[in-house]
Amino acid sequence: DGGITQSPKYLFRKEGQNVTLSCEQNLNHDAMYWYRQDPGQGLRLIYYSQIVNDFQKGDIAEGYSVSREKKESFPLTVTSAQKNPTAFYLCASSILAGGPDTQYFGPGTRLTVL
Amino acid sequence: AQKVTQAQTEISVVEKEDVTLDCVYETRDTTYYLFWYKQPPSGELVFLIRRNSFDEQNEISGRYSWNFQKSTSSFNFTITASQVVDSAVYFCALSEGSGGSNYKLTFGKGTLLTVNP
């Protein structure tokens, strides 16, 4: 089955700790994205990557870091510098065909800072 | 800058009623794309439809239909004969098609639809 997997589904972290959220896709998509969703809000873009070893900041990149060492993987690290990290994090991927292509989403990771 | 407004925060209907979810967008581009996603309680966003700015034809897929009107910058979504399984948050999103920003999806805040039996 082709798709996007995110792990873990729920994650708890103590203040001051870094934590890494996993995102893997087997759709052979070129681009991958990380979004943050807060209650009652739409999604906001954190980082995106269109090619291996390259990524760009989105609207709310402060306090987050990413890597793209493999086409199928795009992990997100929430650092201790992120002031309000409790949120629902969604990973997405899309092909790149010269125009805005449909982004397909994973099941999400719910992060809670204790 | 692009913007998407979903003025209806919550809608509650009884099963078999028809319901329309509103979406109004702002963009300076003449080429852009509009999307609808469904987010059930499980949390995953499910893609429903993608339309480009040059195609104003309405679309119907089963009980779902979409009305795209450039004159009013609206892309409304209607569910006919609603069912309990339609209960979810629905997001409208916009992506501009020119320049280097065609990666960026701007989402509305979503409409929570509750269909009661």
Nearest to B106, CA basis, from B42, B12, B40, B28: B28
- Residue A47's closest chain B neighbor by CA? B104
According to DSSP, the β-strands at B10-14 and B111-116 are parallel
Q: Is B3 on the interface with A (CB under 8 A)?
A: no
Cβ distance of A43 and B107 shorter than 8 Å? yes
Cβ distance of B4 and A43 shorter than 8 Å? no
Task: Considering only residues B87 and A114, tell me which one the structure prediction assigns the higher pLDDT.
Answer: B87
Percent of chain A topping pLDDT 70: 96
- The C-alpha atoms of residue A78 and residue A15 are separated, in whole angstroms, by 11
Q: Which two tokens stand for residue B60?
A: 């119907």
Band of residue B102 on the pLDDT scale cut at 50, 70, 90: low
Residue A98 pLDDT > 80, yes or no?
no
A92-111 residues touching B, CB cutoff 8 A: 92, 99-100, 102-108, 110
B16-75 residues touching A, CB cutoff 8 A: 32-33, 35, 37, 42-47, 50
- The C-alpha atoms of residue A101 and residue A55 are separated, in whole angstroms, by 17
Average pLDDT over residues A4-32: 93
Chain B residues touching A110 at Cβ < 8 A? 43
